[in-house]
Amino acid sequence: MPVAGVGGGGGGRGGGGRMVLGGCGGAGAAVVEDAVVMELAAAEGEDSVVTVNCPDQAGLGCDLCRTILEFGLRITRGDVSTDGQWCYVIFWVVPRSPSINVRWGSLKNRLMSMCPSSYAIPFYPEITQPAPPQFYLLKLFSTDRKGLLHDVTHILSELELIIHRVKVSTTPDGRVVNLFFITDGMELLHTKERQEETCSMLIATLGPSLSCEILLAEGFQQGFSSLPPTISEELFRLELDDCESSSRSLCAEMKKMQKASINFDNALSPAHTLLQIICVDQKGLLYDMLRTLKDCSIKVTYGRFWSNKKGFREVDLFIKQADGKKVIDPEKQEVLRSRMRSEMLHPLRVMIVNRGPDTELLVANPVELSGKGRPRVFYDATLALKALGICIFSAEIGRQTASERQWEVYRFLLDDSKEFPLANSLTNRNNIVDRVRKTLMGCYN
C-alpha cells in the first residue's frame, strides 16, 4: 500500500490563520526536522492537526496515541499509513476541556523523541522493560480544603509530572502535609530551574500560604498492590453486563457499549485483513485499540478513524499478523475479537470496598506488555471526587498480577462526612462509581 506524501513543515502560519509548529527545512532537510508538524487551531473548538512522518517501528501508533491522551487531547479523526519502513500519521485533535492548557511545544518534543532515527528496525523486537525512572518527593504544606489534591494534580499534569503515590496528613493546627512521589516526563527535575518552575507554578495557582520542597526519593520503588482474593476476583472479572452493583445510568451506558460491532473481511485486500469496528465513543478509544493490537503482535498497515453523528466511532484497519500473513483462521479471529471487545470497551475497572472501618475506592487498568500504564487515570479519578465534594485521606498506585496479566491499581482512602456519608449508603457509593467511571471514559471533563 503506498505511503502518503511527506508533509511540509516550515514555521509560521498556515492557511486559515492556523499557527504551524514544525521543522524549518524543505524537501532536503534532515528527517528529524520534519518528523512532527503541528497546525494549531485558529479558534477554540476547532481541530488542531498533528502530522507525524518518520521511519516506522513496532507499536509507534499506540505510543503516539498514548502521549496525545496524556496531554489531555481527544483524537477526533485519524489516518495512518505505512509501507513497513516509513509511516505517515495524521491526527485531528482538540483539548478535552477548556481548562486544559496544552503545552504544544512540549507535546511536539515528546512526539519527536518517539520517532526512530533509522528505519532498519524490526517490527516486533523483543519487548524489554524500560529502565526505572528517577523518583522525587514533592512536599507541600498548606491549609486544608476540598479538591486540593485534584488542583495539585492538575498543575503537575500540565508540568508533565507523573504521580506514583500520595500520602496526606493533618497537623494539629489544621494544616495539611501532602507528600507526592513523582517522576518527570521531561526528565529535568534534577535541575534547579525545573524545580523552581514547579514550585512557582504551584504557589502562584494555589496561593502564597503554600510551601513547596522537592527532594530525591532515594530507595523509593513503585509498590505492588495486595488486594484480598475476594476483592481482586470481583475487580478483575467484572464484565460489561454486570449491572447488579451499578447505578441505573451506568448500567445503561454499559448496555450501550455492548452494541459494538467488530468484523473481519479478507475479500477486499489480497495481502491484508480488514478489521472493521463500530462502537460508542469514549476517552482513549484509539489508544485502547492500538495497544491491544500491539500486545497481540498485530501490525496495522493502513487505518482510518472517524465519528458519525450518533456518537459512535467507525474504524477501518488493514492488518497483518507478525508473520506477515492475513488473519484467516476463524479461531484466531474470535480470540482477537474477544480481546478487542474487552480491552476497548471495558479498559477500566472501578469499585468501592470497605477497608476496615473506612471506605476505599479502587480503580484498575491493564498495563501494556512494555510496562506502560494508562495516562491521566489519577487526574480523572481525583477530578470526579472533587466534583462530588469528597475528600481523599490517602492515595496509592501499585501493580498487581491477575487474570494472567499485570494491572495498575489506584487505591483512594475516602474521608467520610456528614454531607456525603459512605459507610452505610449504597446510593452514595454507586454515585461515586458512576461519576468516577464516566469521568474516566470521557462523559465528564
| DSSP letters for 370-402 | TS---TTHHHHHHHHHHHTT--EEEEEEEEEEE
Confidence (pLDDT) at 355: 85
Strand partners, 352: 361
C-alpha cell at 311: 456518537
Q: How many helices (H) and strands (E) does the chain have?
A: 11, 18
Q: Where are the alpha helices (DSSP H) in 132-246?
A: 148-158, 192-206, 229-237
For residue 31, what pLDDT is reported? Answer: 42
The domains of the chain are located at 19-114, 136-237+348-441, 252-345
CATH fold label, 19-114: Alpha-Beta Plaits (3.30.70)
| Phi, psi at 242, each rounded to 5° | -85, 90
Nearest to 9 by CA among 32, 48, 82: 32
Which three-class secondary structure state does DSSP give residue 352?
strand
| Residue whose C-alpha cell reads 479498559 in the numeric block | 347
Domain at 136-237+348-441: CATH code: 3.30.70.260
Q: How many CB atoms lie within 10 A of CB 248?
A: 9
Do the domains 136-237+348-441 and 252-345 sit in the same CATH topology, yes or no?
Answer: yes
Beta bridge partners, 265, equal 274
Residue 288: burial class (beta carbons within 10 Å; 0-12, 13-18, 19+) = buried
- Say if residues 415 and 390 touch (Cβ distance below 8 Å): yes
Note the CATH architecture for domain 252-345: 2-Layer Sandwich (3.30)
Per-residue pLDDT of the chain (445 residues; tens, 9 = 90+): 333 333 333 334 344 455 666 643 333 333 456 899 999 999 888 999 999 999 998 899 999 999 999 999 999 999 999 988 899 999 999 999 888 889 999 999 999 999 987 644 444 444 455 567 899 999 999 887 778 889 999 999 999 999 888 888 777 777 888 899 999 988 999 999 999 999 999 999 999 989 999 999 988 876 666 888 889 888 887 554 555 455 555 566 656 666 789 999 999 999 999 999 999 888 999 999 999 999 999 999 999 999 876 778 999 999 999 999 999 999 999 999 999 998 888 899 999 998 888 899 999 999 999 888 899 999 999 999 999 988 888 888 888 888 788 999 999 999 877 777 787 777 888 889 999 999 999 876 5
**What pLDDT, on the 0 to 100 scale, is given for residue 392?**
87
